[in-house]
Structure 1
């Protein structure tokens, strides 16, 4: 007689889910921690490769570095904190030290690391709310998830309280509505647009085209198309517009310039601060497009206003003189 499989007791509805997630993420977490411990012990940071195109981590240790950023911020910044801007300077310096001690982060990307810490902290809080705050019946979990040992009961109570207010629910509802308006489905997976860009380069290489820099409209299209070629109607519409714009570029009818490039023209929207479509996260508008036109100083604006006022005064004088000649019947002087 075959042995019967023992049923696992689940006193807490979230325990089974926690165990499943531990099995999924545990191995990767242990690998990263072992690597980092060795790097600190030997005082030899792990060598990171930096992409020449966007100056972001790449290569076999890029995902490990991203995981370590997440581990670091979860260990030092509480989920009970309501705003990333409240993280003090010493804590930021401490976390940056742990990142640069474990991996060779180039100095010009230290600010990017700090931004990445904030980004992953916010994502972690979203994950806690979406996957761990409620059990299978929809009831609020009053104990912190066992997967995150650093969350104390007090911090969890504060987190649950802040995510149960009417203000938070209103913001969450609005965000869900905005997400529902998205007309394209992203297929880029965890690799993000960096992984999509690799696919685009391979596709171009298969066609005999070798490029150093991939235009963002190509990565945006590839990221919104599945490996089977599936696209939403909206993406298909944008793809047709891009095809027509490419012909205009070849004919010299349209010349991409700065933010007014092929993708912006096809979508009909310029980029707004905080993101750039079709490129990896962490690249700002200025980094991708370069600095925009220099804003005039206050003195320059005053000078332009004065020049315009002089021209207006001349026009008023001419108008008065013409009115005088029209009423008097005299011929206007050509000396003016």
Structure 2
């Protein structure tokens, strides 16, 4: 049994404490009473309102408008982004939000038999990725579990900070409804953690980054989010250190390039289909498959320029060998040469949660695996070189025998070296033979 992890801190514990208010003295109390009396008198110019009151009024207006919009949407059960009456009540940002809702797909539905006592059968590949029947349903269910704020709170900075009792409840929910073995627990929790992190990222992009002030962000709670958790998230994301880390992550993410276009189909499912069709499933083939699509004339169309550039580099390297000689080790070497080495603990084209030891064997260090592949390639090349040298020596030996038979003598060095005499040396030997034969011919004459 794995040892218990050390519990991390929640966001509430990381937030700075609120400043305490000091007790008011008699003088401060008298001043506050005078201030309250003066504020109760009518203002001479109503346009001179404090900025904070104007912002609060704007926030309340936005809150009422959005509440009305949600009520109408829930009654109609459709998104009325094109309704003139509703769009007239929304400002520009709300119109954009309404369009986003209408264009995107809705929330995923839970498996109908989940929680009914029926056991769902799930098939896994060697890397513990669900494949074949029920794979898509099961993957969607893991995402639904990750987005359930009542079971998995959003108020933890990272997945590693999640308490053990919550992780145990997640795994119990899986085992109560599926036949997943105990060995799948680690991979299951890793997938749920990735979905939980992606859910937080989407919430931040759609409901936090697009607004300028916390009052606007707190005016409404995003769907499927607990209100108190949303308040904590807004405060936490506003911390200077968190903002700095977020900006660094945005820069790193922008350097990714060449995104795949498989949609909800996982790499494991796609690889399984390719195996059944008899197609190659190495990482180079998987990259091309996930970055291209078939046109009506059966030609491949690349989605973006970055993918097209990488695929062109693949094709240039593949031209070094005939297609029947392009074994898996050779294609893997090309993939690593073009794409570079993988990040520590990750393997491209296998999805989240798959480690190098699962793909390349028990050696967890990818450098060791790369050295092993290089040694295998060197052995193959050396074997071919030795074979060619043997054939060359055999041909040289046969040629030497033929030359000896017709009257040419070869030195041991020449016959053993495997070198073929050039035209000038053969001509000189022919002249010497003729000069030796000429006296004999004269005597006979």
* Residue of structure 1 in register with 2:290 after alignment: 223
Distance 1:251 1:122, change over 3 A: closer
* Residue of structure 2 in register with 1:214 after alignment: 281
- Deviation track 1:34-78 (CA, whole Å, cap 9, x = no partner) reads 32132xxx3x32111223x53311234222222222232333221
* Residue of structure 1 in register with 2:85 after alignment: 7
- Cα distance in 1 for partners of 2:267, 2:123 equals 17
| Residue from 188, 196, 199 that aligns with 1:124 | 199
Root mean square deviation, CA, Å: 3.8
- Cα distance in 2 for partners of 1:275, 1:226 equals 26
* Residue of structure 1 in register with 2:360 after alignment: 289
* Residue of structure 1 in register with 2:54 after alignment: none
- Cα distance in 1 for partners of 2:132, 2:362 equals 29
* Residue of structure 2 in register with 1:104 after alignment: 179
Aligned length: 272
- Deviation track 1:96-152 (CA, whole Å, cap 9, x = no partner) reads 000121222122211100111211111111011011225678874105535215x13
- Deviation track 1:159-189 (CA, whole Å, cap 9, x = no partner) reads 0111122222222222222222234242222
| Residue from 106, 111, 123 that aligns with 1:25 | 106
- Cα distance in 1 for partners of 2:190, 2:330 equals 24
Alignment of 1:95-244 (within 5 A): 95-133=170-208, 140-143=216-219, 145-149=221-225, 151-153=226-228, 155-194=229-268, 196-197=270-271, 200=274, 205=277, 210-211=278-279, 214-228=281-295, 229-244=301-316
- Deviation track 1:265-308 (CA, whole Å, cap 9, x = no partner) reads 232x11122421122333211111112289xxxxxxxxxxxxxx
Paired residues of 1:10 and 1:16 also in contact (CA < 8 A): no
- Cα distance in 2 for partners of 1:19, 1:230 equals 26
Paired residues of 1:200 and 1:218 also in contact (CA < 8 A): no
Q: Which structure has the larger Rg?
A: 2
Task: Provide the TM-score with structure 1 as the length reference.
Answer: 0.67
Paired residues of 1:275 and 1:284 also in contact (CA < 8 A): yes
- Cα distance in 2 for partners of 1:256, 1:22 equals 42
- Cα distance in 2 for partners of 1:14, 1:105 equals 44
How far apart are 1:222 and its partner, in Å?
A: 1.9
Q: Which runs of 5+ in 1 are unaligned?
A: 295-336
SS of 2:302's partner is: coil
SS of 1:71's partner is: helix
* Residue of structure 2 in register with 1:36 after alignment: 114
- Cα distance in 1 for partners of 2:197, 2:134 equals 23
SS of 2:166's partner is: helix
Distance 1:289 1:143, change over 3 A: farther
- Deviation track 1:241-275 (CA, whole Å, cap 9, x = no partner) reads 323444556599998659963311232x1112242
Does the alignment pair 1:278 with 2:359?
no
| Residue from 126, 142, 164 that aligns with 1:69 | 142
Task: Provide the TM-score with structure 2 as the length reference.
Answer: 0.52
Q: Which runs of 5+ in 2 are unaligned?
A: 1-82, 296-300, 366-445
Paired residues of 1:188 and 1:195 also in contact (CA < 8 A): no
| Residue from 113, 128, 137 that aligns with 1:55 | 128
- Cα distance in 1 for partners of 2:318, 2:342 equals 20
Paired residues of 2:260 and 2:290 also in contact (CA < 8 A): yes
- Cα distance in 2 for partners of 1:253, 1:47 equals 41
